[in-house]
């Protein structure tokens, strides 16, 4: 009987260890990146991109093979729960902070000549450019850690299904993936080397690939556009973006007002002129545009306060 019990214990131990090993192997396998190498939709898009953009089809297919599914990107792109009220006061407090204002003043001091040159060339006041760069990345402190290739491929082929506008969003990110590959090829850079947001936005101003190709400028004159390491290029590109969308030096039209919800409290009636709506071309949100203006104004006020 003792021998039987001992053998049974050994067998159970071996079974348990085998089960645990199998579970660990399955867990490890589930954490392995899932490549788009065999995704039929990815292959079809690669061939179409190569034909439209006159790129080497083998090169485009190789980039698709290198791209991988990112579950965290899908999670971050999930639509917000329906029915909840927005809160302008809380939204503003995320961006108009002492840290943002002080960083904006420091950026102004380091790049004053560039900001003034951009104003002279594009007609966009420095504090509005500072507002954008502060809201987007706190002047380069947080430009994103996702591989742009992976983020765009994930959203192009696996955009979250609950989204009410999924079909349009898929088309948008497939187009951005195409623009990104063209951008990388023209710059002679490895697509895998680009890092950005979970949506594929890049650099200090968080330009999407199509915006980069349309609006980014070589404002420091070094022969290339670098929105990560060149504050000059970032400043000039934001100012050029606004100019291209119709920014006016001084709007002669009286502002209207837009309503910004404040949760359960009374909404704010926020003044909005033509330039306010130009800012919404950067991000289609009244709350975003108001935050950019508020941060820019706060930085301008602090710069004026610190002047001798």
Position 185 confidence tier, pLDDT thresholds 50, 70, 90: very high
Does residue 57 register a pLDDT over 80? yes
Does residue 270 register a pLDDT over 90? yes
**Beta-bridge mates of residue 72:** none
Of residues 13 and 75, more confidence is placed in 75
**pLDDT of the residue at 5:** 45
List residues with catalytic annotation.
136
Cβ atoms of 148 and 196 closer than 8 Å? yes
Does residue 26 register a pLDDT over 70? no
Q: How far is CA 9 from CA 3, 14, 18, 21, 234, in A?
A: 10, 9, 14, 18, 68
Cα separation, 37 vs 65, whole angstroms: 4
Domains by residue range for the chain, with CATH: 34-84+145-201 (1.10.8.350), 97-143+206-308 (1.10.530.10)
Q: How far is CA 177 from CA 21, 222, 237, in A?
A: 39, 27, 21
**pLDDT of the residue at 251:** 58
Closest among 227, 283, 241, 308 to 95, alpha carbons compared: 283
The pTM of this model reads: 0.87
Does residue 25 register a pLDDT over 50? no
Cα separation, 160 vs 141, whole angstroms: 29
Does residue 83 register a pLDDT over 90? no
User: Per this entry, what is the length of the chain?
Assistant: 308
Three-state SS for 262?
A: strand
194: number of Cβ within 10 Å: 24
CA dihedral (267, 271, 272, 275) positive or negative = negative
Position 307 confidence tier, pLDDT thresholds 50, 70, 90: confident
Residues 111-161 have pLDDT tens digits of 999 999 999 999 999 999 999 999 999 999 999 999 999 999 999 999 998
**Beta-bridge mates of residue 35:** 68
């Amino acid at each position: 009987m003792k021998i039987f019990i001992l053998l049974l214990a050994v067998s159970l131990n071996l079974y348990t260890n085998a089960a645990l090993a199998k579970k660990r192997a399955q867990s490890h396998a589930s954490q392995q990146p899932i490549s788009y190498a065999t995704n039929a939709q990815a292959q079809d898009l690669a061939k179409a991109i190569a034909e439209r953009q006159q790129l080497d089809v083998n090169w485009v297919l190789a980039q698709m093979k290198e791209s991988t599914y990112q579950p965290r990107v899908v999670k971050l792109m999930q639509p917000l729960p329906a029915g909840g009220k927005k809160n302008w006061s809380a939204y503003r407090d995320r961006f108009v902070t002492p840290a943002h204002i002080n960083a904006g003043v420091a950026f102004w001091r380091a790049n004053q000549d560039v900001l003034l040159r951009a104003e002279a060339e594009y007609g966009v006041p420095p504090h509005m450019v500072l507002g954008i760069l502060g809201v987007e990345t706190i002047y380069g402190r947080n430009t994103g850690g996702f591989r742009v290739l992976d983020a765009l491929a994930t959203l192009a082929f696996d955009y979250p299904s609950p989204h009410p506008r999924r079909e349009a969003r898929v088309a948008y990110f497939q187009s951005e993936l195409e623009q990104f590959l063209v951008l990388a090829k023209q710059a002679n850079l490895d697509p895998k080397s680009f890092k950005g947001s979970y949506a594929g936005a890049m650099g200090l101003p968080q330009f999407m690939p199509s915006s980069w190709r349309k609006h980014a400028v070589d404002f420091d004159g070094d022969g290339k556009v670098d929105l990560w390491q060149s504050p000059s290029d970032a400043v000039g590109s934001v100012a050029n973006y606004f100019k291209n969308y119709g920014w006016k030096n001084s709007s002669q039209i009286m502002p209207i007002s837009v309503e910004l919800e404040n949760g359960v409290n009374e909404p704010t009636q926020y003044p909005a002129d033509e330039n306010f709506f130009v800012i919404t071309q950067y991000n289609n949100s009244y709350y975003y545009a108001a935050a950019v203006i508020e941060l820019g104004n706060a930085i301008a006020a602090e710069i004026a306060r610190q002047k001798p």
